[in-house]
Amino acid sequence: MATFFGEVVVAPSRAGLDEEEEAREETPEDREIRREIEKKRYRRRGRLRLEIRAREVDVLWTCAEQPLVCSRFIVAIGRNAAAFLSSFILDSVCWEVVGVVKLWNEWCRTSSTTNVLPTDSFCLFYRLIADPTVLLCQCSCYVAEDQQFQWLEKVFGSMQKKGLQVTILSTCPVADYKTQESTLTLVSPFLRALKTKEFQEQVCCPLLEQPNIVRDLPAA
């Protein structure tokens, strides 16, 4: 009998068994079959544990100071936003690479090397040489749903929070934009913004209209 709603109860069954089968002793063939089944189960559990460990998010920093003193942190998420940073901000010698996020999921395969080198598979962190408190993150790789909290916890866990201003840049298809007018008449690309109540500066573009929402890592 179930003790609460939703409990799964397995009723005992004697279907397919008779007294002779119950009384039969285990033969060497039965023991061999049982050992092979246990080996397969062990290997399957081992692969599962390996997969769970492989989905860990690792943050590597080249700078020794921890936590990082940061006043402005700009994060570009997605290939379009990362390309914008490369074309209009990072295309100079004023920045240096100070860190990288390494992860492994169904859409992203980062190598096991510890070298911090630019590649599409990495989330790279840059620091402004003239003002080391300004950091950029160029995240062009996919961060899975079960990795987003790790990403946030480990990245922001390395930074001081007081006086920190975070700006997120991301993109989405025009077809996903919800509006009463036809999306065919919209002049694209266009900008919309979301902000927290703590942000008191003037926003550079109109606010995002309801019922539009932000998803995935930018939302996290």
Where is 126: in which H helix or E strand? Answer: strand 123-128
Per-residue pLDDT of the chain (220 residues; tens, 9 = 90+): 544 333 344 555 555 555 555 456 778 777 777 777 777 666 666 555 555 555 788 888 887 777 888 999 999 998 889 888 888 888 777 898 888 888 877 677 665 554 545 444 578 899 999 999 999 999 888 888 888 898 999 899 888 888 899 999 998 888 888 888 777 777 878 888 888 888 888 888 888 888 888 888 898 8
Q: Give the closest residue to 140 by CA, choosing from 118, 164, 172.
A: 118
Half-sphere exposure in the Cβ direction for 167 (13 Å, CA):
14
The answer to whether the bond into 206 is cis (omega within 30° of 0) is no
- Tallying the residues shown for the chain, one arrives at 220
Q: What is the pLDDT of residue 74?
A: 93
Tokens 């962190």 belong to 125
Kindly give, in sequence order, each residue whose CB lies less than 8 Å from that of residue 73, ignoring residues fewer than 6 positions away: 135, 136, 137, 159, 164, 165, 166, 167
Q: How far is CA 130 from the centre of its chain?
A: 31
Kindly give, in sequence order, each residue whose CB lies less than 8 Å from that of residue 132, ignoring residues fewer than 6 positions away: 69
**How many whole angstroms separate alpha carbon 96 and alpha carbon 187?**
36
**How many whole angstroms separate alpha carbon 72 and alpha carbon 69?**
10
Q: Give the closest residue to 91 by CA, choosing from 63, 126, 121, 62.
A: 126
H runs (alpha helix) in 55-140:
79-88
Domain ranges of the chain: 58-171
179 token code pair: 């509006």
pTM, two decimals, is: 0.68
